[in-house]
């Protein structure tokens, strides 16, 4: 089977993005997912991950994760054969699923992130997690807006916590989504 490559080009104006499908990530998607991390990482302002990174080590880590289907799941957004976004969720032994996601520029703000988070949330609940958690840069209004829309709340802020390769120290907003708020 041929693996799908990530798309480096934005969709043409007016294209119907309803064609984008969300499906489970497989081993064949690993390189495409790494392409997305590399492209979005190169934007320098959305991900914790900075470029360049060790692609091979990252691929091995994703493959290891995919072989643990009770505690890890990835989903990809595919646009006519091209992977344009992904989410992954890793459930810790104490029941919290950590979320990481990225969508290529040109495919953002069109509901794909919402669909990816909804799909990931559905899986995490079925897999027995009691909560989802993530960290997001304070300037990432779109991501924070998406998470809040889907029920995540801000739980705190890590001050001057992450040292970037530039030497800057960035804050991070900690967000969580409890599946059983009364527990």
Ligand X SMILES: CC(C)(COP(=O)(O)OP(=O)(O)OC[C@H]1O[C@@H](n2cnc3c(N)ncnc32)[C@H](O)[C@@H]1OP(=O)(O)O)[C@@H](O)C(=O)NCCC(=O)NCCS
- Residues of the shown chain interacting with ligand X in the complex, contacts defined by CB under 6 A: 40, 46-47, 101-103, 108-114, 134, 136, 140-143, 145-146, 149
Total Cβ atoms within 10 A of residue 110 = 15
Please, what is the minimum distance in Å from the beta carbon of residue 111 to ligand X? 5
Helices (H), the chain: 30-43, 55-66, 112-126, 141-149
Please, what is the minimum distance in Å from the beta carbon of residue 2 to ligand X? 25
Our CB check for ligand X shows the closer of 33 and 70 to be: 33
Total Cβ atoms within 10 A of residue 41 = 19
Please, what is the minimum distance in Å from the beta carbon of residue 102 to ligand X? 4
Q: Is 181 exposed, middle or buried (0-12, 13-18, 19+ CB in 10 A)?
A: exposed
Please, what is the minimum distance in Å from the beta carbon of residue 1 to ligand X? 26
Report phi then psi at 26, rounded to 5.
-120, 175
Our CB check for ligand X shows the closer of 30 and 37 to be: 37
Q: For the chain, report the end-to-end CA distance as a whole number of angstroms.
A: 45
Contact between residue 123 and residue 9 where contact means Cβ atoms under 8 Å apart? no
Our CB check for ligand X shows the closer of 116 and 129 to be: 116
Please, what is the minimum distance in Å from the beta carbon of residue 5 to ligand X? 18
In whole angstroms, give the CA distance from residue 32 to residue 36. Answer: 6
Task: For residue 183, list its beta bridge partners.
Answer: none
Our CB check for ligand X shows the closer of 24 and 145 to be: 145
Our CB check for ligand X shows the closer of 47 and 76 to be: 47
């Amino acid at each position: 089977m041929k693996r799908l490559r990530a798309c480096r080009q934005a969709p043409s104006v007016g294209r119907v993005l309803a064609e984008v499908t969300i499906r489970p990530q497989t081993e064949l998607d690993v390189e495409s997912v790494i392409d997305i991390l590399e492209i979005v990482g190169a934007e320098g302002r959305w991900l914790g991950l900075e470029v360049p990174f060790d692609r091979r080590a990252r691929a091995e880590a994703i493959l290891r994760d995919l072989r643990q289907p009770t505690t890890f799941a990835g989903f990809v957004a595919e646009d006519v054969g091209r992977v344009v976004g992904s989410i992954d969720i890793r459930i810790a032994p104490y029941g919290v699923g950590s979320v990481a996601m990225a969508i290529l520029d040109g495919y953002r703000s069109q509901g794909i992130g919402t669909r990816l988070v909804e799909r990931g949330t559905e899986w995490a609940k079925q897999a027995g997690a009691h909560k989802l958690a993530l960290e997001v840069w304070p300037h990432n209004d779109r991501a924070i807006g998406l998470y809040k829309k889907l029920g995540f709340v801000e739980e705190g802020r890590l001050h001057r916590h992450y040292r970037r390769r530039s030497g800057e120290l960035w804050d991070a907003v900690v967000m969580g989504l409890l599946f059983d708020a009364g527990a």
